[in-house]
Amino acid sequence: MTDHPKADHPKADHPKADHSKTDHLKPNLPAPPPSSPSFATPRVLAVANQKGGVGKTTTTINLATAMAACGRRVLIVDMDPQGNASTGLGIDRKLRTVTTYDVLIEETPIEKAALPTAVPGLSVVPASVDLTGAELELVQINGRESRLRRALRIPDLPWDLVLIDCPPALGFLTLNALVAADAVLVPLQCEFYALEGLSHLLKTIERIKRGYNPSLEIQGVVLTMFDKRNSICGMVADDVRQHLGDKVYRTIIPRNVRVSEAPSHGKPVLVYDWRCAGSQAYIHLAGEVLKREAALTASTAA
């Protein structure tokens, strides 16, 4: 493996990150654990659903922002060739010289691909359209399903938590994300066909557990784009809770115009307008996710 010639990114300098810009997001969130042992590899959460437009990218960006605001060192890996997570974090296409493609195909060390963002403590491995080709190239590569896992299971990476924003498909990119992950978080849009796609995803997760990643867990399912004026939304929410019980987070993300405006400003909605209902919901969700993380890591350590 050689050093990648394009590896000229500025280094993300997390330990000294200035948190004053995001301090106001903190009070509702639990404090980080007293000290994470430096030899540990980061916890990895894949945000997955093979449907497009269900809120994967929005959830990834805003959960990551909330967690960075409460002191976690967080990395987003943009696994979608559309690069929406990178755009939503304000990463100009010209800056995307070293990308997820390089990590997966060229074995570029992930630290060299990570770019700092405007959110203190949050970095992103950006995606570009090259990643579309990676689906095909991976087919011919040895250990094609575990390329991302290998890149992330390295001691002393400078992150506590990695969130992977998956593409809207169950191909090799999502497979890599689910093989790399400790747990998967599923955004589910409150719409009539929501449960249909979900059972297919749950079967896929079971298959990946059996075949590649026995310790993969479901972190939880988050209901997104909830519109209280639409009666279908309430029916779907009840139905999903009946099927999945406490796997469904208590927090529901409302449909909120500020959430949909934020990406065009290259900002997480938590930075664009932290008071809006969408931001407040993501802050609550981050609290729930971190609580579950604490329970999951305690049960795997036991």
**Of the two residues 158 and 197, which places its CB atom closer to ligand ADP in the complex?**
197
Helix (H, G, I), strand (E, B) or coil at 193: coil
DSSP secondary structure letter of residue 184: E
- In the complex with ligand ADP, the residue whose CB is nearer, 68 or 253, is 253
Among 115, 49, 67, smallest CA distance to 87 is for 115
**Is residue 108 a contact partner of residue 101, using CB atoms and an 8 Å limit?**
no
CA distance 285 to 254: 12
Report how far apart the first and last C-alpha atoms of the chain are (Å, whole number): 37
Q: 176 forms bridges with which residues in the sheet?
A: none
Q: Closer to ligand ADP at the Cβ: 17 or 170?
A: 170
Among 12, 25, 45, 55, binds ligand ADP (CB under 6 A): 55
With contact defined as beta carbons under 8 Å apart, do 103 and 110 qualify? yes
- Report the partner that residue 53 touches, choosing among ligand ADP, Mg ion, none (CB closer than 5 to 8 A by kind): ligand ADP
Closest-CB residue for Mg ion? 57
CB of 142 vs Mg ion, minimal distance in Å: 29
Interaction of residue 279 with Mg ion, rule CB under 5 A: no
Site for Mg ion in 18-57 (CB under 5 A): 56-57
- From 48-56, 70-78, 135-143, 171-179, span contacting ligand ADP (CB under 6 A): 48-56
- Give the length of the chain: 302
SS3 138: helix
283, two tokens: 């802050």
- Which of 201, 225, 233, 290 binds ligand ADP (CB under 6 A)? It is 225
Please report whether residue 292 would count as binding Mg ion according to CB under 5 A: no
By CB under 6 A, name the one of 5, 52, 133, 211 that touches ligand ADP: 52
Q: Please, what is the minimum distance in Å from the beta carbon of residue 117 to ligand ADP? A: 17
CB 219 within 8 A of CB 293: yes
Interaction of residue 174 with Mg ion, rule CB under 5 A: no
3-state secondary structure of 7: coil
Q: How far is CA 192 from the centre of its chain?
A: 25
Question: What sign does the dihedral 291-152-23-85 (CA atoms) show?
Answer: negative
Residues 283 and 109: their CA atoms lie apart, in Å, by 31
Residues 140-199 that bind ligand ADP (CB under 6 A): 168
Residues 257-286 that bind ligand ADP (CB under 6 A): 259-260, 263, 278
Beta carbon of residue 26, minimum distance to Mg ion (angstroms, whole number): 27
Rounded to a whole number of angstroms, the minimum distance from the CB of residue 253 to ligand ADP is 5
- Contact residues toward ligand ADP (CB under 6 A) are 52-58, 84, 168, 224-225, 253, 255-256, 259-260, 263, 278
- Contact residues toward Mg ion (CB under 5 A) are 56-57, 84
